[in-house]
Amino acid sequence: MRPGRTGSAVVDLRDADEGEPDHAPRPAGIATVNVPLDPVGTPFYEHWTGIDNLGSPLYYPAMLVEHPEPIVAAVRAIADAAPGCVVFHCAGGKDRTGLLALVLLALAGAAPEEIIADYLLTYQRMKQRYDELGARDQLAAVTELLATRNTTIEASLASTIASLTMPDYLLGNGLSDAEFAALRARLTA
């Protein structure tokens, strides 16, 4: 964290061409950091777009192993943000956001069942938005997709959480000791 900086930060996990510009300017003191989480243009992206359109936790373990850089970059943006509130988002509120939340909650020491409950809560909280857009019930859609792969949301997430060793994952993939200390302080203060 940089001394003397205060305010809030928004970490936008969408690809640069994915979002619309803000309809109104952000208030002073709110910084926006764009950290695209999807490795667009890679074989990984093409592969998983064909399986689940990167719309379920099924791709999380592969993403963590094959593309740790964007995950660490998003964590770094949170660690380096000025003192104050930090929020992060993607387009749907459950996929990229869900992966980053899983990583942060695992680092903070949340129990696997708490992380899974947090992920599932997103479906409930986002239901009205998807209804307004005329989109299919996302919980039903993801549940059905994972059933074709002989798994469930809960089992997929539990497997991902069990494979994630913290803080070794972040430190081994480029997060510095100073960034880790700043992140830990932000998550536990």
Query: CA dihedral defined by 179, 161, 153, 16, rounded to 10 degrees?
Result: 20
- Average pLDDT score over the chain: 91
Whether the predicted pLDDT of 45 surpasses 50: yes
Please tell me the least confidently modeled range out of 16-25, 36-45, 71-80.
Answer: 16-25
Question: How would you classify the pairing of strands 8-12 and 30-34?
Answer: parallel
Whether the predicted pLDDT of 4 surpasses 50: no
Residues in contact with 166: Cβ distance below 8 Å, sequence separation at least 6, in sequence order: 103, 106, 107
Whether the predicted pLDDT of 77 surpasses 50: yes
- More confident of the two residues 3 and 102: 102
Residue 2: band (very low, low, confident or very high) from pLDDT cuts 50, 70, 90: very low
For residue 92, what are its two tokens?
A: 């749907």
Whether the predicted pLDDT of 67 surpasses 80: yes
Determine if the peptide bond prior to 61 is cis (ω within 30°): no
pLDDT of amino acid 6:
56
Which tens digit of pLDDT belongs to each residue from 13-32?
999 888 777 778 878 888 88
> What span, in angstroms and rounded, lies between the C-alpha atoms of 14 and 88?
10
pLDDT of amino acid 3:
42
Catalytic residues: 90
Tell me the domain boundaries of the chain.
8-188
Question: What backbone torsions phi and psi does residue 87 show, to the nearest 5 degrees?
Answer: -120, 155
How many residues would you count in the chain?
189
Whether the predicted pLDDT of 126 surpasses 60: yes
pLDDT of amino acid 160:
97
Whether the predicted pLDDT of 175 surpasses 80: yes
Residues in contact with 11: Cβ distance below 8 Å, sequence separation at least 6, in sequence order: 33, 35, 74, 77, 78, 81, 86, 87, 88, 89
